[in-house]
Structure 1
């Protein structure tokens, strides 16, 4: 088996490639993956509200929801739209 000589330039290139791969892996893991549908406890935590407040928001139609088999689901995108629409002192573009 023939010996292969590794130069400092080879090691430097390997180091750069390895660091780029690690950065890519870390970036992919740290980006939050928002779920499409949230359950009530997740919405309460997201908005920092109580169970009663969430119920009132459902009853008065502020937050749209879907109910299946006794479980209430909220669309994450719709919640973000409601928050955006109800922003106070929002600069008009």
Structure 2
């Protein structure tokens, strides 16, 4: 029974044991594929005029805000967006500009108070 837990059946022709070179090669291959998959977003250029667009869900996650707050930001013109056929997209570069423009360094705040 203990041997069954340490084995992984690949197909009807054989069994790969966890301590075997085949198993180690499989794990190494999976790690290599994972590393490649992690690099893909950096290698892929945005498809629409060189700009990457974020969805509402991505913005909510990225900024840690509620849907209502995001709606308020759109209504007040704080965050730029594009509305196409019921889909709202946010240009990533413009969102980064808004964040940089509204960034306050802790050091500069303390200097102003002195």
**What TM-score, normalized by structure 1, do the two folds share?**
0.61
Aligned partner of 1:63 in structure 2 is: 79
The runs of 5 or more residues in structure 1 that have no matched partner are 1-22
- Structure (1/2) with the larger strand percentage: 2
Counterparts in 2 of 1:82 and 1:72: CA distance versus 1, 3 Å? same
Aligned to 1:49, what secondary structure does the other structure show? coil
Aligned partner of 2:61 in structure 1 is: 45
- Give structure 1 regions of 4+ aligned residues with deviation exceeding 6 angstroms: none
Counterparts in 2 of 1:27 and 1:90: CA distance versus 1, 3 Å? farther
Q: Which has the higher contact order (CA 8 A, sep 6+)?
A: 1
Aligned to 2:70, what secondary structure does the other structure show? helix
